Chain A
Amino acid sequence: GAGVSQSPSNKVTEKGKDVELRCDPISGHTALYWYRQSLGQGLEFLIYFQGNSAPDKSGLPSDRFSAERTGGSVSTLTIQRTQQEDSAVYLCASSLYGGRGETQYFGPGTRLLVL
């Protein structure tokens, strides 16, 4: 595709429910990142995928958060038993190889509101 796409654009859920957020990276990009942006804050790294390597999960805030990347392309971020503090914009980015200085292209984000 022309750019990174994410779905849904907005998600409202009730506390305790599970949610799945989807990211379609730029075709051919092997590196994929998830970031979280809380209201009025900068972006916080969550997880990184590179090709078929084991993902770097060091930024995930709790074991309620998980992500997978199928076939080296589409990625899904899952939040189980959502809490109100999970409300944020979840942004996905991709780059060609994940190397230093490579431009990371961001999607428009999914705005998650947990009631």
Chain B
Amino acid sequence: GQQLNQSPQSMFIQEGEDVSMNCTSSSIFNTWLWYKQEPGEGPVLLIALYKAGELTSNGRLTAQFGITRKDSFLNISASIPSDVGIYFCAGQVEETSGSRLTFGEGTQLTVNP
């Protein structure tokens, strides 16, 4: 089945530093998404990417949809303590059965004040 390899698994950084994480896949996806999950909560969508090569920003977050459609990265600039959480990439293929999401294993981000 489809698998997403997400790296790094965890990151420990100082407040103010920039962060980069990425996902690669053996399969092509039509949509790439990045979610953030905080303890006791479900994932919340941060950024969605719909076209190969697309670069999208949302505040301090920037994400890109790889040209090959098999990878994506997420950058967080000038990190702050509330950025702490688990970040997941997810790929989506339009299917007749509803565009289910395939998730990466997550990147646990810790920001030290």
Contacts and interface: CB of A to CB of B under 8 A. Distances in A.
Contacts of A72: none
Contacts of A4: 42
B25 interface: no
A42 B104 contact: yes
A98 B105 contact: no
Given A42-B104, A103-B48, A48 B88 contact: no
Contacts of A45: 100-102
In which size bucket is the chain A interface? 20 to 34
Contact of B31 (A33, A100, A108): A100
A1 interface: no
A71 interface: no
Interface residues of B, number: 26
Contact of B101 (A56, A99, A104): A104
B99 interface: yes
A29 B103 CA distance: 22
A26 interface: no
B42 A100 contact: no
Contacts of B90: 43
Interface of A: 4, 31, 33, 35, 40-45, 48, 50, 56, 58-59, 91, 93, 98-104, 106-109
Interface of B: 4, 6, 30-31, 40-45, 48, 50, 88, 90, 92, 94, 97-106
